[in-house]
A and B are shown apart, each in its own frame.
Chain A
Amino acid sequence: MTGAWRIGSVAIACGLLAGSITLRAAGAPGPQAPAPAVKPAAEAFSDDVHAKAGLTCESCHGPKKADGGYAAIARVAIAPLCARCHADAAYMRKFAPQVRVDQYAQYQTSVHGQQMAKGETRVATCNDCHQSHGIVPVRDTRSPVAPAHVAITCARCHADPARMAPFNRSPEIFNEWSKSVHADALLKRGDRSAPTCSTCHGSHGATPPGADSVANVCAQCHVREAELFKKSRKAEVFAALGQADCLVCHSNHHIAPPQASWIGLDDKALCATCHDESVAGAAVIKSVRKGFDEVLAAIASAGQVLDRAETAGMLVEDGKLALHTASEAHVRMRVLVHTFTAPPFDDVVKEGLAAAGEAQAVGDAAMDELQYRRRGLAVATLVILGFLATLYIKIRRLPKVA
């Protein structure tokens, strides 16, 4: 590779990076993260974790050239250059005893790393995600790879149709994820444990999980669901059909909050995609849907009456506790649905209905008490009105004043 080509490839990479930053700033859909400010290299490096560790420009760029500047580093050389230190456990231990040193090995297994090894320099390398001269630790919230920013960092390339077209990749993944329950948890509720791109695809070893490993990926968090699914008959059926387990019902990036309406044999239900009334499991599907509908209706009804009673000033702590138990049962039902059988599910439905019924009873009793008070006061008002009438008659009978 000639020097001119190296400089050219770095210039193209920087141009593409700057272009993608501009695209985000122009209001591409989805959540926004602070776009990394493009500072002059020296200024950015002053706040770099490497500068704080005592490294200098020469540490990466080598000695100055005759014109006083530093040589640019070719994109294909960036990862090996970083690995000189970051893959050296003995060296890294001096700065951070517990820091991992397998990033380069992982990168070489990733789609990015494999393409780069083939000389495809348009794929990501270290500085595309971590920046070049203003690198901060991942735990620093300013980092482009901090949990809240990872998706947007990936989206700089993966949401760009022009960049994705040559690789035959969809640029819609980021938009789909942005509407998911995971994005809601991470970006709206600030739950740092919620999954972002790297949680499922890996970070340095970023690779799409294959159909046979999807359940394992989801099982990182959804342990119980995956356990039940793997023991179910569905696992065998999906494996035989070559279908990607969890994705069949939940999709991959646009993972919506699960709804009871997904279950059933009507047109809108997901089950109806494969099943109809003629299959043996139709009764189970209907029974599971009925269980969800009944428990959800009971929880909603009890919740309403408890809220009304509490707003009116009644103490309904026992009812709220029972409602909480019913909600827990509903969560367990959502887990147990992955057995695709009736017996353990039906037992939890009974528990949920019993708890919601208890909550409803507390709420109803509180509302009855309110009505009782109201009737008592209505009677008192009538007595007062009777006294008023007597008083009026007495006043009328007073001797007239001359």
Chain B
Amino acid sequence: MRSWFTARLPLAELEAAIRHKTVPQHRHSIWYYLGGMTLFFFLVQVVTGILLLLYYRPSSAEAYDSVQFIMTRVPFGWLVRSIHSWSANLMVGAAFAHLFSVLFLKAYRRPREVVWISGVMLLFLSLGFGFTGYLLPWNEVAFFATRVGTDIAGAVPYAGDTIVRLLRGGPDVTGATLTRFYGVHVAVLPAITTALLGLHLLLVQYHGMSVPPSVEERAKRENRPVPTMPFVPHFALRDLFGWTVALALLAGLSAFLPWELGHKADPFASAPAGIAPEWYFLWTFQALKYMPAHVLGIDGELIAIGAMSLGAMALVLLPFIDRNTARSRTIVTWAAIAAIAFMTTMTVLALTGGH
């Protein structure tokens, strides 16, 4: 049997490549496992998402009831739905942690620019997954949060109204929005993500793990190579450990904080108190609150959206902005620390209802 496959597939070469593959081993190696954990959560999303697709009905009349049916009548449906919801949040959290760890380790440097750009795009896609998926259960909080979230796009000059209509499939959040979000969530985003993820993983394997500049410089000073460990079994077992930690976290959260369904959305009811987006959008939500109505005659919300768009653009183009000098690396590190501090402060303020 083995010979049959070996004759038709490059199994021997693959086996040799895996046997000879090594991974740098240093005091920052632990951050290498975050990418694997993000991938694990994504795979969980794919599997649980496919299972949910079997019963979910994407219409305003049936969406809530179908999720309730999944949670009450489908065997282990409650578990699948709870894991899907928690895994979505953990995936975004792991993706953010992965992004910042790569940024602090300066792993975006030449020749890994495309790995970085594809990674940032994957983070944006996971936020898109979160935004579109949030509405799908068609519950009260999701409905009004989506209304607020899509409203923000209206601040864009000239095209704002068109963008809002494009997002919602009409002037307001309705069943048309739900169908649209569903299509994007289960078809458009997965297709783009699969392609980008394939490219990202291929390039990671091709270039290998990046060694942080400090480790490289130290090895150079001491005139010795950077220590490595075999991919199999040393790194693979550690990666498996990371995946299992992620699984334990998922099971623990689903056990002690089961994801609730809330009340069915009523488009004609007034918005209940405490409407807020998912935690990873909270900082933007809070930052927009602090913007004055107008700054030098320009709409405050527009300035905030412009600033965030510029920030996102800078993040994508970071490998080209950082000239890889000690000074520019320090600036990037402090800018990232400031960004994390700003996002954390805004999120905490939003959670505590502070002003």
> In the complex, which residues of chain B have a beta carbon less than 8 angstroms from the beta carbon of A38?
none
- For window 272-296 of B, CB contacts with A under 8 Å fall at none
The CA-CA distance from A376 to B71 in the complex, in Å, is 16
> In the complex, which residues of chain B have a beta carbon less than 8 angstroms from the beta carbon of A315?
68-69, 71-73
Task: Known contacts A311-B260, A311-B261, A370-B258; decide if A395 and B229 are in contact (CB<8 Å).
Answer: no
Kindly supply a per-residue 1/0 record for chain A positions 376-402, scoring 1 wherever the CB is within 8 Å of any chain B CB and 0 otherwise. Answer: 111011001101100110110010010
Chain A contact residues: helix, strand, loop or mixed:
helix
> In the complex, which residues of chain B have a beta carbon less than 8 angstroms from the beta carbon of A394?
237
Task: Known contacts A384-B244, A394-B237; decide if A313 and B251 are in contact (CB<8 Å).
Answer: no
* Residue among B25, B71, B255 making CB contact with A378, cutoff 8 Å: B255
Task: Known contacts A311-B263, A313-B78, A388-B248; decide if A395 and B241 are in contact (CB<8 Å).
Answer: yes
29 A-B pairs with C-beta separation under 8 A: A310-B261, A311-B261, A312-B260, A313-B81, A313-B258, A313-B261, A315-B68, A315-B69, A315-B73, A373-B79, A373-B258, A374-B255, A376-B255, A377-B252, A378-B256, A381-B251, A381-B252, A384-B244, A384-B247, A384-B248, A388-B244, A388-B248, A391-B237, A391-B240, A391-B241, A391-B244, A395-B234, A395-B241, A401-B227
The CA-CA distance from A370 to B254 in the complex, in Å, is 11
Interchain CB contact under 8 A, A392 and B241: yes
Contact of A136 with B by CB under 8 A: no
Contact of A44 with B by CB under 8 A: no
Contact of A111 with B by CB under 8 A: no
- For window 307-335 of A, CB contacts with B under 8 Å fall at 310-315
Task: Known contacts A313-B261, A370-B258; decide if A385 and B248 are in contact (CB<8 Å).
Answer: yes
Interchain CB contact under 8 A, A384 and B251: yes
The CA-CA distance from A100 to B14 in the complex, in Å, is 97
Kindly supply a per-residue 1/0 record for chain B positions 68-86, scoring 1 wherever the CB is within 8 Å of any chain A CB and 0 otherwise. Answer: 1101110000110100000
The CA-CA distance from A401 to B229 in the complex, in Å, is 6
> In the complex, which residues of chain A have a beta carbon less than 8 angstroms from the beta carbon of B237?
391, 394-395, 398
> In the complex, which residues of chain A have a beta carbon less than 8 angstroms from the beta carbon of B240?
391
The CA-CA distance from A76 to B240 in the complex, in Å, is 98
The CA-CA distance from A185 to B251 in the complex, in Å, is 49
B160 → A minimal CB distance (Å): 35
Interface size on A, residues (CB 8 A): 24
- For window 274-306 of A, CB contacts with B under 8 Å fall at none
The CA-CA distance from A391 to B33 in the complex, in Å, is 15
Contact of B345 with A by CB under 8 A: no
Interchain CB contact under 8 A, A313 and B252: no
Given A313-B67, A395-B234, 7 new contacts (CB under 8 A): A310-B261, A312-B260, A373-B258, A378-B255, A381-B248, A388-B244, A401-B229
Interchain CB contact under 8 A, B255 and A377: yes
> In the complex, which residues of chain B have a beta carbon less than 8 angstroms from the beta carbon of A395?
234, 237-238, 241
The CA-CA distance from A358 to B263 in the complex, in Å, is 22
> In the complex, which residues of chain B have a beta carbon less than 8 angstroms from the beta carbon of A377?
79, 251-252, 254-255
Kindly supply a per-residue 1/0 record for chain A positions 66-110, scoring 1 wherever the CB is within 8 Å of any chain B CB and 0 otherwise. Answer: 000000000000000000000000000000000000000000000
B24 → A minimal CB distance (Å): 11
Which of B25, B238, B251 has the most chain A CB atoms inside 10 A of its CB?
A: B251
Contact of B111 with A by CB under 8 A: no
The CA-CA distance from A384 to B259 in the complex, in Å, is 20
Interchain CB contact under 8 A, B241 and A388: yes
A185 → B minimal CB distance (Å): 19
> In the complex, which residues of chain A have a beta carbon less than 8 angstroms from the beta carbon of B252?
377, 381
